[in-house]
Structure 1
Amino acid sequence: MKINDPLKTALNTVVEKPTTGESTSTSTVRPSSGAVPPPAADVTKLSSQLQSLQAIVANSPVFDAKKVDIIRSEIESGRFSVDSEKVADAMVKDAVSLLKSK
């Protein structure tokens, strides 16, 4: 007894693997008459945008080493101060934008 036989019988479907010459297609499930179809994506445009973003990220430093060194020396010397009002404003702004996006 094969494990998939009861499943095939219950669903009244046959699962077939495509042959090596066949190309696999995307889902053929059609939306109901009242459903709104999803917007079409321009794959070429998205691909070129992704490639340009990858090039920008690959050529950008992960962090600004000079800025880190400046902050480190200020902390070590005791001259570094945190503007708590500026930090709080930024946190509120981030929270508001997060809530608006949902």
Structure 2
Amino acid sequence: MKQKIVIKVSTDGQRFRPAKAMKIVIHLLKLMLPYDIIWKKSSISTAKITTKAMKIAVTSPGVASVALTGEEKNQLVVTGEGVDAVNLTRLIRQTVGFAELLSLGPDGEKK
């Protein structure tokens, strides 16, 4: 039986980390180390983020199709048999950034 998985991916390039906590850590490091700390923010385009997320989804075992949906094109719809939704979400979260599993259920298409 085919299943349909919807995963919301953050396409703004931000990982799910509070900025205030990072500022506190940087401040503490500046106090402890005699060196200047240079913090570089890497900005990746939305197209690269979605491409990476889709590549991860396509290479997962059991995936039949992957599509982008939603108003902002930030939702991955993955269909296939025997796809591990939690593992897929974890892999996307590790490589791309914030990812949230929105829904998991049977595919509604009829043949």
| TM-score (ref. length: structure 2) | 0.23
Bigger radius of gyration: 1
Higher-strand-fraction structure? 2
Higher-helix-fraction structure? 1
| Greater RCO structure (CA 8 Å; 6+ sep) | 2
| TM-score (ref. length: structure 1) | 0.24
